[in-house]
Amino acid sequence: MERHSRTMQRAAGRRRGERTPSEEQQDLVAASADGVTAITVAPTSFEIVNAAYGRTTGDQLVDAIDQRLSGALAEYRSAAVRSGATFTILVGGEAQIGDAAVDATERALEHPFQIDGETIQLGARIGVARMSEEEPLDQLLRRAAEALAYARASEGATRRIAADGRGVSLAALAADLHRAMERQEIDVRFQPQVHLIDGQITGVEALARWQHPRLGVLGADTLLAAADRAGLGVALSDHVQALALRRAADWPDALSGLRVAVNVTATDLSRTPFVSRFLARVHEAGIAPGRVTAEVTEGAMIDNLHAAGTALAALRAAGCRVALDDFGTGYSSLSYVARLPLDYLKIDRSLTQAAVSDARDRVVMQGVLAIAKGLGLETIAEGVETEAQRLLLAARGCTLYQGFLCAEPLDDAALIELVSKDRERELPR
């Protein structure tokens, strides 16, 4: 039997979701007359490990995952390729064997890892696709990657099996997206940002949704993946930002003091002239620039920090504010925070949630809050779901929070109702 490959091909620097099969994988497919199952696995809280313990530990963790998977799949005919922390594994054999390998993969990552004296507990998302007759390998890999994207997009499901041409694929969604924009199916919801001291809602973040006529409401991750696939990332960004700003400009008086934050992607930032286009959108919407925040991630700026810094400074000069999004994921670096012209640091949900249960993560959180404060930045904790999380953040001096504890992303009517209630509560009696 062939063994699970230990030396995996690294496919760094590729576009998200793109997988190139290794020779070993091609050989496996050629030798597997009884079928092939593709399994894509991505740890859910991997980025936080980089942020909390450093990149070396992150790298060691990926090696440890690699070894676990190799061990778990030793009895299968398998070949794997790694890209970042995502593993794409092909398993030869009938569907039942593939299913058993998926179970083994899931079980392999259930137990915590011990790295450098740290105990690290990971979650995982898994995408699965079964090769159909005559299916080319690259198509199989694409379907598995799409299944992973879906698994990531859904809050609950850890595993997703790709439809065999019957269900709706990402490709089909991508093909539909252009019309969806024209038909006004792309919508925004607004999630409140709440002051941690006085409980006031001071602003909202605009989050994209697709009101799909057959599939119901699709989340932002699925929508963005479909847009990427269709080459409509830029068009979608324009559409959603303009929509969010227009809607906010039209809000009734009760909401006219709220700030509105829109997400800005790497592609948005790199498309010149980003600043004048963004400001034109603000102007056309008829909203005061002073109410608008642009949310950017470090990943979006990594290619050209200097240019990104210049663009963000120009936005601020025009009165907008800038938030660094998802801090505490990816290769978060505090030196960026010091060098970029920012107003807010948004602490990623993974760190917010870990801080309650883990003393070490609490130390990381406290450090992040202290540095932000030292740099004069306000902090927004994301993903606050419990009172315990809120109290911890308030006690440690975080400025604002966002999360299901206050509200999920809301449509206009629900937002208006919530804010009005909030204001009534505050009126002196």
At closest approach, how far in Å is the CB of 406 from ligand C2E? 9
Q: Minimal distance in Å, beta carbon 240 to ligand C2E?
A: 4
Residue in 221, 238, 343, 358 binding ligand C2E, rule: CB under 6 A: 221
Given the complex with Ca ion, which of 40 and 332 has the nearer CB atom? 332
Under the binding rule (CB under 5 A), the answer on residue 193 touching Ca ion is no
Among residues 131 and 223, whose Cβ is nearest to ligand C2E? 223
d(CA 98, CA 195): 49
Question: In the range 351-390, which residues lie near ligand C2E by CB under 6 A?
Answer: 382-385
Least separation, in Å, of the C-beta of 191 and ligand C2E?
A: 6
Residue 70 vs 191, nearer CB to ligand C2E: 191
Stretch that binds ligand C2E, among 106-114, 249-257, 402-410, 417-425 (CB under 6 A): 402-410
Q: Is 299 in the site for ligand C2E (CB under 6 A)?
A: no
Q: Tell me whether residue 325 or residue 361 sits nearer to Ca ion (CB atom).
A: 325
Taking the CA of residue 112 as centre, how many other CA atoms within 13 Å lie in the half-sphere pointing to its CB? 9
Q: Note whether 238 binds ligand C2E by CB under 6 A.
A: no
Round to whole Å and give the CA distance between 154 and 219.
8
Residue placing its CB nearer to ligand C2E in the complex, 39 or 243:
243
Give Cα 394 to chain centroid, integer Å.
Answer: 25
Site string for Ca ion, 254-283 (x = CB under 5 A): ---------x--------------------
Report if residue 293 touches ligand C2E, rule: CB under 6 A: no
The entry of Ca ion, ligand C2E, none that residue 305 binds, CB within 5 to 8 Å by partner kind: none
Selected from 326, 380, 389, 400, the binder of Ca ion by CB under 5 A is 326
Residue 134 identity: E
Nearer to ligand C2E, 162 or 218 (CB): 218
Q: 268 vs 326, which CB is nearer to Ca ion?
A: 326
CB of 355 to ligand C2E, least distance (A): 14
The answer to whether 229 contacts ligand C2E (rule: CB under 6 A) is no
| Among ligand C2E, Ca ion, none, residue 106 binds (CB under 5-8 Å by kind) | none
191, interface contact from Ca ion, ligand C2E, none, CB < 5-8 Å by kind? ligand C2E
Nearer Cβ to ligand C2E (261/377): 261
Smallest distance, Ca ion to C-beta of residue 278, A? 15
- Candidate list 58, 192, 328, 409; residue touching ligand C2E; CB under 6 A: 409
Region for 297 from its dihedrals, namely left if φ exceeds 0, alpha if ψ lies in -120 to 50, beta otherwise: beta
Q: Using an 8 Å Cβ cutoff, are 282 and 292 in contact?
A: yes
Kindly state the number of chain residues that form the binding site for Ca ion, as judged by CB under 5 A: 5
Interaction between residue 176 and Ca ion (CB under 5 A): no
Q: Is 169 in the site for Ca ion (CB under 5 A)?
A: no
Q: Which amino acid is at 344?
A: Y
Q: Which of 66, 325, 361, 378 binds Ca ion (CB under 5 A)?
A: 325
Distance, in Å, from the CA atom of 59 to the CA atom of 371, rounded to the nearest integer, reads 26
* Secondary structure string (H, E, C) spanning the chain: CCCCCCCCEECCCCCCCCCCCCHHHHHHHHHCCCCEEEEEEEECCHHHHHHHHCHHHHHHHHHHHHHHHHHHCCCCCEEEEEECCEEEEEEECCHHHHHHHHHHHHHHCCCCEEECCEEECCCEEEEEEECCCCCCHHHHHHHHHHHHHHHHHCCCCCEEECCCCCCCCHHHHHHHHHHHHHCCCEEEEEEEEEECCCCCEEEEEEEEEEEECCCEEECHHHHHHHHHHHCCHHHHHHHHHHHHHHHHHCCCHHHCCCEEEEECCHHHHHCCCHHHHHHHHHHHHCCCHHHEEEEEEHHHHCCCHHHHHHHHHHHHHCCCEEEEEEECECCCCHHHHHHCCCCEEEECHHHHHHHHHCHHHHHHHHHHHHHHHHCCCEEEECCCCCHHHHHHHHHCCCCEECCCCCCCCECHHHHHHHHHHHHHHHCCC
Q: Is residue 127 at the binding interface for ligand C2E, with CB under 6 A as the rule?
A: no
Q: Given the rule CB under 6 A, which of 126-134, 139-147, 156-164, 401-409 is the region that contacts ligand C2E?
A: 401-409
Binding site for Ca ion (CB under 5 A): 263, 295, 325-326, 382
Binding site for ligand C2E (CB under 6 A): 191, 206-208, 219-221, 224, 237, 240, 263, 265, 325-326, 349, 382-385, 402-404, 409
